[in-house]
Amino acid sequence: MLDTHARKYVQPMIQKSARVSLQLGMTANQMTVVAFIIGASSGVFYYLEQPIVAVIVLWLSGYLDAVDGTMARLTKPTPFGTVMDITFDRIVEISVILGIAALHPEAMWALLLLSVSIIISMTIFLTVGAISEKQGMKSFYYQAGLAERTEGFVLFSLMMLFPDWIIWTTLLFFTVELFTGFQRFMEAKRLLTEKDGVTDEEI
């Protein structure tokens, strides 16, 4: 939700960073790799009991991930760049979940539920993006929802900064993610049945 509605407020700064990076000779794919390496370290820092550092590198990687997308649009987006971006984003999230699980085994069951909800939501997101003829700012159709990447980062940050509430924040994340999956599923039903000329009443 924040990615969709609040992006316009930070886009000028992202645009400036993208242009400076391009002037320095970096490519969008190189920035994707940099964002990935920084983001994947978040779970490691958390496991080493450095939660503040873990949160900082997580948000820095998220910012650079937005920069790489703008860099791609200022030059020429590539299909492989999209694959890299989506894959590395998920690995960063996995890193955080594993780091938290290693330090808080008592929350393992809640983290497992969270992982399941992310898989469900991302499966719908990627499937609709693959078969839809619509395209947004990215090189595929982007389904908005209650939980986008920024909301995920907010909830991951709460999980890492307030370990005493780890189970409750994880369950909140699980609920939000599951609701987002339902949102995307219903939008997919509407979008794809309209495309095929089928109404809801005929299903």
Q: Would you state the pLDDT for residue 36?
A: 97
* 142 sits in which H/E element: none
Q: Is pLDDT of 72 > 80?
A: yes
Q: Is pLDDT of 197 > 80?
A: no
Local confidence band at 77 (pLDDT 50, 70, 90 cut-offs): confident
Which of the residue ranges 30-34, 63-67, 139-143, 163-167 would you say has the lowest mean pLDDT? 139-143
What single-letter amino acid sits at 53? V
Cβ(54)–Cβ(103) under 8 Å?
no
Strand ranges for 54-147 from DSSP E: none
Separation between Cα atoms, residue 31 and residue 35, nearest integer Å: 6
- The mean predicted confidence, pLDDT, of the chain is 86
Ordered by start, the domain boundaries in the chain are: 2-196
Greater confidence, 127 or 39?
A: 39
Nearest to 171 by CA among 100, 111, 119: 111
> CB-based contacts of 167: which residues, under 8 Å, 6+ apart?
106, 107, 110
> CB-based contacts of 171: which residues, under 8 Å, 6+ apart?
110, 113
Cβ(43)–Cβ(95) under 8 Å?
yes
Q: Is pLDDT of 181 > 60?
A: yes
Q: Would you state the pLDDT for residue 137?
A: 45
Separation between Cα atoms, residue 178 and residue 183, nearest integer Å: 9
Q: Is pLDDT of 30 > 70?
A: yes
Instruction: Tell me the per-residue pLDDT of 127-179, one tens digit each, with 9 for 90 and over.
Output: 887 776 554 445 555 556 677 788 999 999 999 999 999 999 999 999 999 99
Fold of 2-196: Four Helix Bundle (Hemerythrin (Met), subunit A) (1.20.120)
Local confidence band at 5 (pLDDT 50, 70, 90 cut-offs): low
| Coil, strand or helix at 132 | coil
Q: Would you state the pLDDT for residue 195?
A: 61
What single-letter amino acid sits at 198? V
